[in-house]
Chains A and B, each alone.
Chain A
Amino acid sequence: MNILVCVKRVPDTETRVRIAEDGQSIDPSGVKYVVSPYDEFAVEAALRTKEALGEGEVAVVSLGGEDSQETLRSGLAMGADRGVLLKGEVTMDGLATAKTLAAHVEEEGPDLVLLGVKAVDDDQQQVGPMLATLLGRPCVTGVAEFEMKDGTAVCRREVEGGVEVVEVDLPAVITVTKGPFEPRYASLKGIMAAKRKPLDTKEVEVPASSLEVKALEPPPEKAEGRIVGEGPDAVPELVRLLREEAKVL
């Protein structure tokens, strides 16, 4: 079984992000980049599936610039067999990304495409379902864990208050969320082996973005706390403030 995992290079969640002077992008200086954490869950799921089946191939693909090779190498160091860099511009437009990935999936024809449920930089959660739609494949989103049974993927989705089990026939697209398995770290051998694994670069035409970022703003500074009063007497005032000022009730 061939599995293709789409991975994205994103700023480290621990990086303190600053907005660039143009007010429309983030200032890349001093920013550390990582594989989007949900994509790491997807790579882990792919590797586990391959190990459970005892056969198959896991490839990682990333749309991005030259730098995204690093992202692919991380996947290879974890254990993926090969990587493909689709060299092109990543925009806010999930559809443009999905179209670019779809063209590549058509070409490779993997049985299963895995993606993180979202990229942690723009949080849009668009690409997985759009990709599935473009390919005419079924899509299961937000899967915590899945298992192959006679050519079917049995997926567990964590939904409000319970677990939903969904079976999907391949070929399919699955978006992965945090599940019971921590992504493995790369062993020294894995890191060394990654240097020798195939990593191809393909120039791609990314459709023009139909979305434009107008402005980025930092979240408002957290206002200082206020003590309304003490004991039961303070409750009515607290409720009034929560309703009228904070508007959360």
Chain B
Amino acid sequence: MPTDRDDYEQLRKAVRSLCARYPEEYWRKLDRDRAYPEDFVQELTEAGFLGALIPEEYGGGGLGMGEACAILEEINRSGANAAACHAQMYTMGTLLRHGSEEQKRRWLPGIAEGRLRLQAFAVTEPDAGSDTTRISTRARRVDGGYRISGKKIFISRVEHSDLMILLARTTPLEEVEKKTRGLSAFLVDLREAGDAIRVRPVDTMMNHATTELFIDDLEVPEENLIGEEGRGFHHILSGMNAERILLASESVGDAYYFVDRATRYAGERIVFDRPIGKNQGVQFPIARAYVQARAAAAVRDEAVALYDAQEPCGPEANMCKLLASEAAWEAANAALDTFGGYGFAEEYGIERKFREARLYVVAPVSNNMVLSYVGQHVLGMPRSF
């Protein structure tokens, strides 16, 4: 089946071959045990794919956003779940763009090699979800660094990370001129955190290794502050466009996965003496999902081109995230309908992907927030809340 125009066929093919070694049974077992795909992540790391965005001078692949998107899209299209490790690709962006040369030399080569996993990013709090500036985790200056206390929720892959980027308030909300000020980004070495961070898994409807963090007097040395104190919100913001474009690519991959599977099944399943795909009621939803996946991929490609040209890409990054997550969801429903009862049977993989694909409508930013961004910042309408 044709997909979006393809400049990265070799990369895609390599990722497909790697993923083919991890068939549906592998993912099904992990899903049942709520276990981490350690072998898969290890192999992906060793083959260098997760270091794609790290510049060559720090030991990474030195590739652009387009290649990184192709990698994640292909992983999810193959039936695997990139969520287990996608953050290893982009969490380092904050460090890369705002860290000092010394910090970059210290951490990036290890991250590129996979020796160090930096794939946890702690922003969300129980009392501050979509409204990030309301976070109350507090970092106080002490001799030689900071002491941090607070609570975080839905922080994924902490148990599978050596390092974590943490957003905390260094100046209380009441004392700042703008609410986006007074927040700071820290690189936390989880291996040294000891009892200062308690990690409690949050069981979710899919296998996602997400957790709640109780942070109590965590000491972070001065040299682990990334960028300027008080500018943390802006420092992580620039990485969010990358995150949105990359996760949109996973959703595009999910959408194609469902379309591929549904198309094949619709051609094979005979009911009333004809392949079910001969019925418009089966065929059209699949075709529509494909059209939507292509449209999402096209806007994603627009975002990629702007991102790689280092031009502002906020609108495109947000829009492709919305389009792709909805295309994936639409495709997931079309596939579930096409498979009928078998779609619900674990053996077919559809129900697992169905649960996994749904996340991106809500995270890392809910589509409502995308719409309010577009309404306000693209169309110039009044702030809706």
Binding site for B on A (CB under 8 A): 30, 32, 34, 70, 73-74, 77, 185-192, 194
Within 8 A of A (CB), among B1-39: 2, 9-11, 13-15, 17-18
A34 / chain B contacts, CB cutoff of 8 Å: 13
Chain B interface (Cβ within 8 Å of chain A)? Answer: 2, 9-11, 13-15, 17-18, 46-49, 51-52, 61-63
Partner of A191, one of B11, B18, B46, B51: B11
Bound Cα distance A74, B254 (Å): 26
Q: Pick from B10, B15, B17: contact of A73, CB below 8 A.
A: B10
Whether the Cβ atoms of A189 and B48 lie closer than 8 Å is yes
How distant is A184 from chain B, measured CB to nearest CB, in Å?
8
Q: For B17, give its contact among A32, A185, A191, A194 (CB under 8 Å).
A: A185
- Asked if B62 and A187 make an inter-chain contact with CB atoms under 8 angstroms apart, the answer reads no
B61 near A186 with CB under 8 A, answer no
B10 touches A188 (CB 8 A): no
Q: Are B17 and A188 in contact (CB under 8 A)?
A: no
Q: How far is the CA of A190 from the CA of B9 in the complex (A)?
A: 14
The 3 A-B residue pairs with the shortest CB-CB distance in the complex, in nearest-first order: A188-B48, A185-B17, A187-B47
A187-B47, A188-B49 known; A74+B10 contact, CB < 8 A: yes
B84: min CB distance to chain A, Å:
18
Asked if B13 and A188 sit within 8 Å, CB to CB, the answer is: no
Let me know if A186 and B10 touch, CB within 8 A: yes
**CA distance in complex: A34, B16 (Å):** 14
Q: Which residues of A contact B15 (CB under 8 A)?
A: 185
**Complex contacts, B46 vs chain A, CB 8 Å:** 187
| Given A185-B18, A185-B47, residue A191 in contact with residue B52 (CB < 8 A) | no
Q: Write out the residue numbers on chain B whose beta carbons fall within 8 Å of the beta carbon of A30.
A: 2
Q: Which residues of A contact B51 (CB under 8 A)?
A: 188
16 contacts between A and B (CB under 8 A): A30-B2, A32-B9, A70-B9, A74-B13, A77-B14, A185-B47, A186-B10, A186-B14, A187-B49, A188-B11, A188-B48, A188-B49, A188-B63, A189-B61, A191-B14, A192-B63
What residue of chain A has the Cβ atom nearest to residue B17's Cβ?
A185
B62: A residues at CB distance < 8 A: 192
Select the residue from B10, B62, B63 with max chain A CB neighbours within 10 A.
B10
Write the nearest CB–CB distance from A13 to chain B, whole angstroms: 13
Measured CA separation A190–B10 after assembly (Å) = 11
B10: which of A32, A189, A191 is its contact (CB, 8 Å)? A191
Q: B52 to A188, Cβ gap below 8 A?
A: yes
Cα A70 to Cα B14 in complex, Å, equals: 14
Bound Cα distance from A73 to B11, whole angstroms? 11
Report the minimal beta-carbon distance from B361 to chain A, rounded to whole angstroms: 30
B379 to chain A, nearest CB (A): 38
- Min Cβ gap B106→A in Å is 22
